[in-house]
Amino acid sequence: MGRLGPLGPSVTRVTAAYAGRVAVLGIETSCDETAAAVVDGDFHVVSSVVESSIDQHRAFGGVVPELAGRAHVATIGPVVRRALEDAGLDAHDPDIEGIAVTSGPGLIGSLLVGLSAAKAFALAWSVPFVGVNHLEGHLFAPLLERVDLEWPLMTLLVSGGHSLIVLQAGPGHHTVLGETIDDAAGEAYDKVARWLGLGYPGGPEIDRLAQEGSPGGLALPVSMVGDDYDLSFSGLKTAVVRATQKHTDVPLADVAASFQSAVAEQLLRKLRRALEHHEVRGVALAGGVAANSALRAGVAELASDFGIECHLPTMAMCTDNAAMIAAAGLYRLRAVGPSPMDLAANPNWQLADVR
Ligand code: KG4
Ligand code: ZN
């Protein structure tokens, strides 16, 4: 993987040898990443291109939907062409099995760019297309790095927009055990970082600072200790604000370490509970917050305690990409069939509603 010039400074690409089997083109534009990827019929990533507009949003401390939508319009064509060319496919008439595109959840203006492009390509190339739930896409990410993955799997899916504990009986068969009742874990990281005067996105900054601090430096509550799988981060965020207003002498690194420890503790407690009550072969992390060092270490420890496989995807697979959408789409195309041409974008599509 490397960073390249022509598409802009933020583009990342992955290219592998194409096994020459039927392939699916994936398209992802639900938030600030414009992404396209080719995955072959055996769930191998053949090419993956991700162009992010995050630099345009930094000054605002969060993704600005209008800017994200405009960036997708400018970038979708070159990104798709690059993904096809990297896969050794004819960008004008690729020999593919179908097109998979994120049709929800996400920002409506952003989703519509990818969905419209996917429909246009499907018509032009006479191939089927399928709308994919973005969260189901994240659930397919571990499979792309471990094709011999064994089910059932317990997955903690934590990103800037979502926090869920999902039991996966097999690919495409999932039960949401619990989810956040307010902010997502990544959202809490971003909001706390903003309060502390750190940059956006806040997760990597807090994670880095936390390595130098003491988790006992600031007394914070561990929220949601109840007998369920639901999560909540809004109270913790408020607690950080209150505690730092009261104890102004606590070093920033200690604040970061204390917050990080409280987030990880809540997530890991709930995940442990899920593992105690469901027999699974493995545990997986997914979503942007899966990059978090405390969470990765904690999940690895849980896997070892329960004697099960641990799946910690690489960063490229944790954050938004189109390979995971292509993988979910490949499964959906084969198991369920294509979507109708009048499929609408659904900005609030719940994972529990995916059939
Ligand atoms: O999945 P993602 O790339 O985008 C979506 O939200 O869909 O996740 C981005 C989120 C941001 O909130 C960011 O602060 C968080 O993931 N994040 C982290 C870390 N790296 C990224 N949170 C905690 N620790 C990290 N190392
Ligand atoms: Zn995502």
pLDDT in tens, 66-119: 999 999 999 999 999 999 999 999 999 999 999 999 999 999 999 999 999 999
Q: What is the pTM of this model?
A: 0.91
Q: Distances from the Cα of 142 to the Cαs of 40, 343, 349, in angstroms?
A: 16, 28, 22
Percent of the residues in the chain that have a pLDDT greater than 70, as a whole number? 94
| Ligand nearest, relative to CA of residue 322 | 2
Sign of torsion over alpha carbons 124, 91, 98, 355: negative
Q: Which two tokens stand for residue 74?
A: 């400018």
Q: Is the pLDDT of residue 325 over 90?
A: yes
Kindly report the protein residue whose alpha carbon is nearest to atom 18 of ligand 1.
Answer: 203
Residues 110-135, mean pLDDT to the nearest whole number: 97
| Ligand nearest, relative to CA of residue 201 | 1
State the pairing for strand pair 129-133/98-104: parallel
**Pocket-testing residue among 289, 292, 349, ligand 1, by greatest number of atoms within 8 A of Cβ:** 289
Strands in 129-133's sheet, in edge-to-edge order, are 2-3, 11-15, 45-52, 33-40, 23-28, 98-104, 129-133
DSSP single-letter state for residue 30? S
- Helix, strand, or coil here: 45? strand
- Nearest atom in ligand 1 to the alpha carbon of residue 201 is 14
Kindly report the CA angle at 198 between 108 and 222, in degrees rounded to 5?
80
Q: What residues sit around ligand 2, an ion, with C-beta below 5 angstroms?
A: 159, 320
Chain CA centroid to CA 93, Å? 30
C-alpha of residue 163 to centroid of ligand 1, in Å? 11
- Nearest atom in ligand 1 to the alpha carbon of residue 31 is 7
Domains in the chain: ranges and CATH: 12-139+318-353 (3.30.420.40), 151-312 (3.30.420.40)
Q: Distances from the Cα of 235 to the Cαs of 103, 159, 247, 286, 288, in angstroms?
A: 32, 18, 18, 24, 21
In the chain, which ranges are continuous DSSP H helix?
54-57, 65-86, 108-125, 134-145, 185-195, 202-210, 234-246, 252-277, 293-306, 315-318, 323-335
Q: Which of 7, 4, 160, 118 is nearest to 71 (CA)?
A: 7
C-alpha of residue 62 to centroid of ligand 2, in Å? 15
pLDDT tier for residue 59 given thresholds of 50, 70 and 90: confident
Kindly report the protein residue whose alpha carbon is nearest to atom 22 of ligand 1.
Answer: 203
Phi/psi of residue 12, nearest 5 degrees: -120, 145
C-alpha of residue 97 to centroid of ligand 1, in Å? 32
If you average pLDDT over every residue of the chain, what do you get?
92
CA distance 179 to 152: 19
- Helix, strand, or coil here: 116? helix
**Is any atom of ligand 1 closer than 6 Å to the C-beta of 31?**
yes
State the pLDDT at residue 62: 85
Q: Distances from the Cα of 299 to the Cαs of 116, 127, 285, 286, in angstroms?
A: 39, 40, 8, 11
CA distance between the termini of the chain: 34
- Nearest atom in ligand 1 to the alpha carbon of residue 291 is 26
Q: Is the pLDDT of residue 3 over 80?
A: no
Q: Is the pLDDT of residue 282 over 80?
A: yes
Span 220-241, pLDDT tens digits: 987 766 789 999 999 999 999 9
State the pLDDT at residue 2: 32
| Ligand nearest, relative to CA of residue 159 | 1
State the pLDDT at residue 147: 80
- Helix, strand, or coil here: 129? strand
| Ligand nearest, relative to CA of residue 203 | 1
